[in-house]
Structure 1
């Protein structure tokens, strides 16, 4: 399957179109569910893209809404595509939410990260150390699967039609030796290497910037190639994350990102800083503080 036709994004578009046609027909979710012989929650989950619908379900829903002909045929075809399995399906037991599927369909990602190197830019050893520390209940097998899917995602940056990635990293990310000195040095060198790709822009937000617009937390803005697929903000947290799609939410996060990138070091200055830290890491020049009192 073409990554730009990710089943996740197809499911999202299908749900939005079905909701639009239902609203236009003046049919409530309860009424649609009664005529379909299913629960209202099933209709709602289909419309929000949280569950897939069979082509038969879609045809029946469109019949209820008075939609026929080419419009109906197109949505039934989208329903077929939405039920295909993405490359990440074998790893579904260790994936939370729909982020990987949306990422696979994006044309560009703009992200701000406070704590760790983003998954698309991580080395395997950095990823292992980070996941092992953050997910205390994971087995070795689960950690292995998480790292494998994370490494596979990185193909998005070097495929024939690569995504554009623009990341602003807080200086704290570069100052925390995840995995120890050697692992972190290799990670910094990887970051310096990735900045050479024409589709990757990396900026560092230095401690000297003080208080800034991104202090409420990490986020990523995903932009999609088709106008029918509205952009989405993903705000990550320990249980997976939150997807934000409302116009005012998108406008707010676009403004935050623009402010952060204007405050951060330039890409050239950032690249120089990363290379310098690979040779003279900050964590080695600071006194170690015991975690006990």
Structure 2
């Protein structure tokens, strides 16, 4: 668990507890909205951890739900206060995927599938710089520098001396073949992958082109799992203008099954290492 306050996680835990208390009270989200003179979608956003909950709102909801336990009320008020704090990523300006960074920072394990690029957690600085420059139209040098710093700081989880992030990544062969930056950038990036793949808490698998159709053809996704039993697993789908977070058990189970199929179809880790070393030969020499 993180040593510092994580506002994303605090907001998510608070929302989950408020949903539980509402359900125990027997009230629907619509009934709560009508009593508090707010919209029903706002209640849903609060309970899903997608909207900041002020301590005053927590107090009003506790009264409405008939909560008598003062220790519980104090705990919820503390979560509301923590949820209003700034995450470390906020100091870098407008980072659009801040909610994901907050979840990633608290995750104990992540399983991800990437069809086109090397995942951000595994990128070298040169590769990351080329990805940012090539995928974000009209990005300013200042914005690009901030995003690069955030991306590299996220990677600290992989090298943490205690409880490093457990990462399992399945990469489509395309991620190894697409030349990002230059041939030299790619050669060093693939060498970096082989080094990371040798770490005991990181597992890499490559999905070769000749596998054909597979469950990942619809695009990238990540499954985040947490050490705290109160934090439900999350499926994260990255999109250009907005991201999607799935928390329903049926959705998480579906993507878990999809990932199991990808793991079964991909090369084993030892074969993946040989595959990457062979792919690296294509980037030998100048270019």
Query: Fold-level match, TM-score > 0.5?
Result: yes
Which residue in the other structure is 1:22 paired with? 22
CA distance in structure 2 between the aligned counterparts of 1:4 and 1:280, rounded to whole angstroms: 44
Equivalent pair of 1:3/1:104 in contact (CA under 8 Å) = no
CA distance in structure 1 between the aligned counterparts of 2:204 and 2:10, rounded to whole angstroms: 30
1:95-121 Cα deviation digits (max 9, x unpaired): 235111111110000001000000000
| 1:109-124 correspondence to structure 2 within 5 Å | 109-124=110-125
Which residue in the other structure is 1:67 paired with? 67
Shift in alpha-carbon separation, 1:11–1:125, aligned structure 2, 3 A: same
How large is the Cα RMSD of the aligned pairs?
Answer: 2.1
Q: After superposing the two structures, state which structure 1 stretch, 22-31 or 191-200, moved more.
A: 22-31
Shift in alpha-carbon separation, 1:249–1:280, aligned structure 2, 3 A: same
CA distance in structure 1 between the aligned counterparts of 2:110 and 2:3, rounded to whole angstroms: 15
Equivalent pair of 1:45/1:51 in contact (CA under 8 Å) = yes
Q: After superposing the two structures, state which structure 1 stretch, 226-235 or 110-119, moved more.
A: 226-235
Shift in alpha-carbon separation, 1:158–1:40, aligned structure 2, 3 A: same
* Alignment of 1:48 onto 2:69: no
1:52-98 Cα deviation digits (max 9, x unpaired): 22223212211111112232222222222222222111135132351
Q: After superposing the two structures, state which structure 1 stretch, 55-64 or 159-168, moved more.
A: 55-64
Q: After superposing the two structures, state which structure 1 stretch, 77-86 or 139-148, moved more.
A: 77-86
* Alignment of 1:103 onto 2:104: yes
Equivalent pair of 2:10/2:83 in contact (CA under 8 Å) = yes
Shift in alpha-carbon separation, 1:23–1:222, aligned structure 2, 3 A: same
Task: Look up the SS of the partner of 1:201 in the other structure.
Answer: strand
Which residue in the other structure is 1:180 paired with? 182
CA distance in structure 2 between the aligned counterparts of 1:240 and 1:200, rounded to whole angstroms: 28
Equivalent pair of 2:179/2:186 in contact (CA under 8 Å) = yes
Task: Look up the SS of the partner of 1:101 in the other structure.
Answer: helix
CA distance in structure 2 between the aligned counterparts of 1:44 and 1:213, rounded to whole angstroms: 31
Residue of structure 2 aligned with 1:216, choices 195, 215, 218: 218
* Alignment of 1:94 onto 2:95: yes
1:160-204 Cα deviation digits (max 9, x unpaired): 221100000000100011001111111111111111211100001
CA distance in structure 1 between the aligned counterparts of 2:218 and 2:35, rounded to whole angstroms: 45
Query: Structure 2, unaligned stretches of length 5 or more?
Result: none
CA distance in structure 1 between the aligned counterparts of 2:76 and 2:142, rounded to whole angstroms: 39
Q: TM-score when scaled to structure 2?
A: 0.91
Equivalent pair of 1:97/1:240 in contact (CA under 8 Å) = no
Which residue in the other structure is 2:127 paired with? 126
Task: Look up the SS of the partner of 1:98 in the other structure.
Answer: helix
Equivalent pair of 2:2/2:105 in contact (CA under 8 Å) = no
CA distance in structure 2 between the aligned counterparts of 1:85 and 1:175, rounded to whole angstroms: 39
Equivalent pair of 2:184/2:283 in contact (CA under 8 Å) = no
